Structure 1
Amino acid sequence: MKEFRMAIINLTSSIDRCHNRLDDLDSRLKKIEQRDLEDQPNISGLVATIDHLKSELNVRDQELLANDVEITGISETKEENPHHIVIAVATKLGLTLEDRNIVSVKRVGTTRGYIEGELRPRPRPLVLRLVRRSQRDDLLRAARVRRHLSTVDMGLPGDTTRFYLNERLTYSNRQLFFKTREASARLKWKFSWTRDGKIFVRREHGAASHRIRNEADLQKIFGINEVGAKE
């Protein structure tokens, strides 16, 4: 009987210690939750500062691409001469481009694999950097006037393909423009374009244009529940 009583006492003591530990943990948890609530404005402010700095950095990075043109769709071959290709492209557009006008030209990105239904890998884009921004603007303007461009009669190796000229965007802006075009197509907005690294949309002819700076603008213009929605 004495041993039984001692066992009960020990069990009670153990339970009391468990309760005390639970009370202590509960108290510590409440303190942590309170501290998080008190720190929330600081955390929110820090996040806002980081977002602002990222945005400023993206603007600076885009400015560095002000003289760049991205050419997509032209077949990629081992024996190709990128300088010859971009000069042929300029000629196709009715412009004269010489080696002295070119800072650099190269394929960018990793070599792409085969896509189902295609006979060869998709070509990587050519990035052309020009000496003057006005030369870049002339190329882009000529490309907008001459739609449905193709490599026919250009004397280039590889298959005859359609090709496109666009201003070069930073990675962040490319991602944002991709989402913008997706939302525009899904919601039947007729126009989405870039100008000087900035992204714009317009619902239809005669309607006001809207600048897209970030995903918050996408949500505001296209609707919170529409951006990223799946059909």
Structure 2
Amino acid sequence: MPLVSNIWGCCSGESSNKDEKFINCNGCKRSYHFLCLSIDEIGKDSRIFRIWKCPGCLNQTPKSLRSDSTPVCNSSTPRVSKRPALNSPSPIGMSATKEDMRSIIQEVIKEEFSAMIERINTSMINTIIEHMEPIKREISDIVHSIDLINKRFEEIECEQSTLNRIVKDVQEENTILRSTVSDLNQRFNLIEQQSRANNLEIQCMPENKHENIYTIVKQLGEVVGCEVNETDIVHCSRIAKIKSASDRPRSIVIQLASPRIRDRLLAAVIKFNKSNPQNRLNSTHFGFKTKKSPIYIVEHLSPSNKALHAATRHKAKEKGYKYVWVRGGRIFVRKNEEAGYVFIRNLDTLEIL
């Protein structure tokens, strides 16, 4: 660009802004404002800036020598007013059009709207963060509580597992103990029954205040035809009632010298009753003048066998079994004459009758 005063080829440069950008023609050396040419500004370092020619010089240049990249302006195109920058004061002597005002208003509204949106977003984010802080603390407390509950649950589960193993062991031990106790009860009952192997029990014998039990036993032997000496009787006495409210007389327990003597006397009683079905052993055979009542001679059973014998009689009556008897401390039942006998070992045997 020359250092001398510019020779203007567009608007003489008098009414224009001194700082307005211009370009020099490489042919006529005249200066032209970019705004007057209605072309975009070209940097000074650009090749086009150095070789640019005005439309007059360009029309005198042969087409073969023209550069296609050279900006061309129609000289007949009037100068277009340059739009002032946003928020800058309007140039003197230049009035804003409706389009300029509309553009300015749109840009102002756009910037204000963007700023408002940004403020709203910031306010919303701050509000959300402010309200989320207590929730985050509560969630943290809940997570901590859940961790404590899980830990306690694991401890309880471990304790429960241990207790389950203990209970299982106790149940197994209890089963073994039940079996052992049942076996011991059977053995004890057997021993207790064997200790009564020499004994007989006289049931329903009327009581007399001045009675002599030894005399009654001797008289029993005389009635059934089996002699019983005093040496054969080891001990005899009446025993307490199982049910104190019962009106039956107390039973008499006779302890004989040996099981052989006991069995002989018992067999004689059975034979007597079979021989006298209409006058079985009763109170009149012993000289009692009271009402005739039957008298029973049975083996002396242990308390367990006595309870089992009572349950067997009740069950036999319920199931229609005709015979129930005791031999050697053991209890038997038979449905009828043709059926076989059943040995009643315990209460479980009664359940399968």
Same fold (TM over 0.5): yes
TM-score normalized with structure 1 length: 0.79
TM-score normalized with structure 2 length: 0.53
User: 1:4-41 CA distances to partner (integer Å, 9 max, x unpaired)?
Assistant: xxxxx999989987886666445423321222224433
Residues 19-30 of structure 1: pairs in structure 2 closer than 5 A: 24-30=155-161
**Residue pair 2:233, 2:254 contacting (<8 A) in 1 also:** yes
* Range 161-170 or range 17-26, more displaced: 17-26
SS of the residue corresponding to residue 176 of structure 2 reads helix
Structure 2 distance, partners of 1:87, 1:97, is: 6
Structure 2 distance, partners of 1:129, 1:191, is: 27
Change (3 A) 1:180 1:153: closer
Q: Does 1:123 align with 2:249?
A: yes
- The corresponding residue for 2:230 is 99
- The corresponding residue for 1:40 is 171
- The corresponding residue for 2:286 is 154
- The corresponding residue for 2:205 is 74
| Partner of residue 140 from structure 1, selected from 266, 276, 290 | 266
Q: CA deviation at 1:152?
A: 0.9
Q: CA deviation at 1:43?
A: 2.6
Q: Does 1:200 align with 2:332?
A: yes
- The corresponding residue for 1:65 is 196
Structure 2 distance, partners of 1:111, 1:180, is: 18
Structure 2 distance, partners of 1:10, 1:17, is: 10
Change (3 A) 1:92 1:14: farther
Structure 1 distance, partners of 2:231, 2:264, is: 16
| C-alpha RMSD of the superposition | 3.1
- The corresponding residue for 2:308 is 176
**Residue pair 1:76, 1:124 contacting (<8 A) in 2 also:** yes
Structure 2 distance, partners of 1:113, 1:169, is: 19
Higher RCO, 1 vs 2 (CA within 8 Å, ≥6 residues apart): 1
Q: CA deviation at 1:77?
A: 2.2
Change (3 A) 1:112 1:183: closer
User: 1:67-109 CA distances to partner (integer Å, 9 max, x unpaired)?
Assistant: 1000001111221111111111221112211212100000011
Structure 1 distance, partners of 2:195, 2:269, is: 22
- The corresponding residue for 2:348 is 216
User: Taking every aligned residue pair, what percent have the same amino acid on both sides?
Assistant: 27
Change (3 A) 1:16 1:178: farther
Q: Does 1:166 align with 2:263?
A: no
- The corresponding residue for 2:107 is none
Change (3 A) 1:93 1:175: same
Structure 1 distance, partners of 2:214, 2:146, is: 82
* Range 145-154 or range 200-209, more displaced: 145-154
Q: CA deviation at 1:141?
A: 1.2
Structure 2 distance, partners of 1:16, 1:152, is: 91
Q: CA deviation at 1:178?
A: 1.0
Give the gaps of 5 or more residues in structure 1.
1-8, 116-120, 223-231
- Structure of higher CA gyration radius: 2
Change (3 A) 1:169 1:111: closer
**Residue pair 1:113, 1:122 contacting (<8 A) in 2 also:** no
Give the gaps of 5 or more residues in structure 2.
1-139, 274-279
SS of the residue corresponding to residue 286 of structure 2 reads coil
Q: CA deviation at 1:166?
A: 0.2
Structure 2 distance, partners of 1:10, 1:157, is: 98
Q: CA deviation at 1:136?
A: 1.0
Change (3 A) 1:75 1:17: farther
Structure 1 distance, partners of 2:289, 2:145, is: 84
SS of the residue corresponding to residue 207 of structure 1 reads coil
SS of the residue corresponding to residue 211 of structure 1 reads strand
